[in-house]
Chains A and B, each alone.
Chain A
Amino acid sequence: MAHQLIIDAHLDLAFSAVQVNRDLTVPAATVRTQDGENIRRSFGSCTVTWPELRRGHVGIVFGTVMSRIDPNDEWTRSGMYCQDQCHGIGHGHVAYYQVLEREGLIRFIHNVSDLNEVVDAWQAPTADTPIGLVLAMESADPILSPDNVAEWWDLGLRMVSLAHYGISSYSHGTGTEGGLLPRAKPLLEALAAAGIIVDLTHTTDQAFWETLETYDGPVAASHHNCRTLVPGQRQLSDEMIKAIIERDGMIGAAFDAWMLDPDWKKDTPSYDQATSATLDTVVDHIDHIAQLAGNTRHCGIGTDLDGGFGSEQAPRDLNTIADLQQLPDLLEKRGYSAEDVTGILSGNWIRLLSQTW
Chain B
Amino acid sequence: MLIIDGHLDMAYNALFHRRDLTRSIQELREREDPVRCNLSSHPDSLERRGGSPHTLYKGIATVSLPEMRRAEVGIMLTTIMARVQTPSLTAHNACRTRHTAEARGRAHLAYYKALERRGEVTFIKSKDDLERSVTAWQDPQPDTPVGLILSMESADPISSPEAVAEWWEAGLRSVTLTHFGANTYGHGTGSLGGLYPPAYPLLDAMRETEMIIDLTHASDQAFWQILDYWDGPVHASHCNCRALVEGQRLLSDDMLRAIIERDGVIGIVFVDTMVNPQVNWDDPSTFVSQAARPMRAMIEHVDHICQLAGNSRHVAIGTDLDGGFGRELAPVDMDTIADLQGFLDLLRGAGYNEDDVAAIAHGNLLRLFRNNWQ
- In the docked arrangement, what's the CA distance between A102 and B31, Å? 39
Quick one: closest A residue to B98, CB to CB?
Answer: A99
Residues on the A chain within 8 Å of B18, using CB:
71, 74, 77, 79-81, 85
By the criterion CB–CB under 8 Å, are A268 and B49 in contact? Answer: yes
B40–A75 CB distance below 8 A:
yes
Tell me whether B41 and A73 are in contact (CB under 8 A).
yes
Smallest Cβ-Cβ distance to B11: which chain A residue: A88
Query: When each residue 200-242 of chain A gets 1 if its CB lies under 8 Å from chain B and 0 otherwise, what string results?
Result: 0000000000000000000000000000000000000000000
Report if B108 contacts A (CB, 8 A): yes
Residues of A within 8 A of B98 (CB): 99
Q: Are A41 and B36 in contact (CB under 8 A)?
A: no
| Most B Cβ at <10 Å: residue of A72, A90, A166, A309 | A72
Q: Is B196 positioned at the interface, with any CB of A under 8 Å from its CB?
A: no
**Taking the nearest CB of chain A, how far is it from the CB of B243, in angstroms?**
38
A87: contacting residue among B22, B47, B48, B110, CB under 8 A = B110
Q: Quick check: is B14 within 8 A (CB to CB) of the other chain?
A: yes
The verdict on A96 contacting B114 (CB below 8 Å), with A79-B40, A176-B41, A267-B49 known, is no
Q: Is A95 an interface residue (CB 8 A)?
A: yes
Q: Quote the shortest CB–CB distance from B275 to chain A (angstroms).
A: 32
Q: Which of A65-98 contact B (CB under 8 A)?
A: 70-77, 79-85, 87-96
CB of B39 within 8 Å of the partner chain: yes
Known contacts A91-B110, A99-B102; A269/B45 CB under 8 A: no
A144 contacts across to B, CB distance below 8 A: 114, 117
Render A13-47 as a binary contact track against B, CB cut-off 8 A, 1 for contact.
01001100111110000000010101001100000
- Which residues does chain B contribute within 8 Å of A333, judged by CB atoms? none
Interface: B2 (CB within 8 A): no
CA gap between A104 and B96 in the complex, in Å: 20
Tell me whether A91 and B46 are in contact (CB under 8 A). no
A349 at the binding interface (Cβ < 8 Å): no
Nearest residue (CB) in A for B19 is A81
Q: Are B114 and A99 in contact (CB under 8 A)?
A: no
**Using a CB-CB cutoff of 8 Å, which residues 308-343 of chain A contact chain B?**
308-309, 313
Chain B at the A interface: SS class: loop
Please judge, given known A-B contacts A17-B99, A21-B100, whether A85 and B39 are in contact too, CB under 8 Å.
Answer: no
- B43–A72 CB distance below 8 A: no
> Given contacts A23-B96, A308-B44, is CB(A87)–CB(B55) below 8 Å?
no
Contact check, A87 vs B111: say whether CB atoms are below 8 A apart. Answer: yes
Across the interface, A96 reaches (CB within 8 A) one of B47, B99, B110, namely B99
B residues in contact with A80, CB < 8 Å = 18, 20
Q: Tell me if B31 and A81 are in contact (CB < 8 A).
A: yes
> Which residues on B sit within 8 Å (CB–CB) of A174?
43
A38 — nearest CB in chain B belongs to which residue?
B54
Residues in A with CB closer than 8 Å to B109 are 91
Q: Does B257 contact A (CB under 8 A)?
A: no
A62 in the interface (beta carbon within 8 A) = no
- Taking a contact as CB atoms under 8 Å apart, the answer to whether B16 and A92 are in contact is no
Is B324 interfacial (CB-CB < 8 Å)? no
Contact A269 B50 (CB under 8 A): yes
A42 to B88, CA, bound (A): 16
Contact A18–B103 (Cβ < 8 Å): yes
Interface residues in B24-52 by Cβ distance below 8 A to A read 31, 36, 38-51
CB of A170 within 8 A of chain B? Answer: no
B297 at the A interface (CB under 8 A): no
Chain A residues within an 8 Å CB radius of B308: none
- Return the CB mask of B92-109 against A: 1 if under 8 Å, else 0: 000111111011111111
Interchain CB contact under 8 A, A70 and B114: no
Query: Smallest CB–CB gap between B101 and chain A, Å?
Result: 9
In the complex, are the beta carbons of A75 and B46 less than 8 A apart? Answer: yes
**Do the beta carbons of B41 and A165 come within 8 Å of each other?**
yes
* Best-surrounded residue of A83, A95, A266, A270 (most CB of chain B within 10 A): A95
Contact B42 A308 (CB under 8 A): yes
A95→B110 CA distance, assembly (Å) = 10
Contact A72 B46 (CB under 8 A): no
Number of interface residues of A (CB under 8 A): 58
Q: Which residues does chain B contribute within 8 Å of A90, judged by CB atoms?
A: 107, 110
> Which residue of the partner chain, among B42, B102, B106, B110, contacts A76 with CB atoms under 8 Å?
B42
A93 touches B103 (CB 8 A): yes
B22, B36, B54, B103: the one within 8 Å of A92 (CB): B103
- Does the CB pair A14–B36 fall under 8 Å? no
A266 and B43 contacting across the interface, CB-CB below 8 Å: yes
How distant is A100 from chain B, measured CB to nearest CB, in Å? 7
Q: Is the CB of B110 within 8 A of A88?
A: yes
Does A108 interact with chain B (Cβ within 8 Å)?
no
Complex interface: chain A residues within 8 A of B342 (CB): none
Q: Is A258 an interface residue (CB 8 A)?
A: yes
Query: Which of chain A's residues have a CB closer than 8 A to the CB of B117?
Result: 144
- On whether the beta carbons of B111 and A21 are closer than 8 Å, the reply is no
Residues B44 and A309 in contact, CB atoms below 8 Å apart:
yes
- Minimum CB–CB distance from B13 to chain A (whole Å) comes to 10
**CB proximity of B8 to chain A, nearest CB, Å:** 16
Q: Find the A residue at minimum CB distance from B49.
A: A269
B205 to chain A, nearest CB (A): 17
B residues in contact with A22, CB < 8 Å? 96
Measured between beta carbons, the chain B residues less than 8 angstroms from A71 are 18, 31, 38
Pairwise interchain contact A75-B53, C-beta atoms closer than 8 A: yes
A25 close to B97 (CB less than 8 A): yes
Complex Cα gap A17–B95 (Å): 9
Q: Which residues of B lie under 8 Å from residue A176 when comparing CB positions?
A: 41
A156 located at the interface, meaning its Cβ lies under 8 Å from any Cβ of chain B in the complex: no
A residues near B96, Cβ cutoff 8 Å = 21-23, 34
Across the interface, which residues of B come within 8 angstroms of A82, CB to CB?
20, 22
Q: How many whole Å from B64's CB to the nearest CB in chain A?
A: 12
Nearest-neighbour CB distance to chain A for B334, whole angstroms, equals 25
Q: List 16 A-B contacts (CB under 8 A).
A: A18-B107, A23-B97, A23-B99, A38-B53, A70-B41, A75-B47, A79-B40, A81-B31, A82-B22, A84-B114, A85-B18, A88-B11, A88-B14, A144-B117, A165-B41, A269-B50
Other than A79-B18, A85-B15, A90-B107, give 10 A-B pairs with Cβ distance below 8 A: A23-B97, A23-B99, A38-B53, A74-B55, A84-B14, A90-B110, A91-B111, A93-B107, A174-B43, A266-B43
B interface with A by C-beta (< 8 Å) = 11, 14-16, 18-20, 22-23, 31, 36, 38-51, 53-55, 87-89, 95-100, 102-111, 114-115, 117-118, 159
Residues of A within 8 A of B (CB): 14, 17-18, 21-25, 34, 36, 38, 41-42, 70-77, 79-85, 87-96, 99-100, 102, 144, 165-167, 173-176, 258, 266-270, 308-309, 313
Q: Which 4 A-B pairs have the closest CB atoms?
A: A92-B107, A88-B111, A166-B41, A91-B110
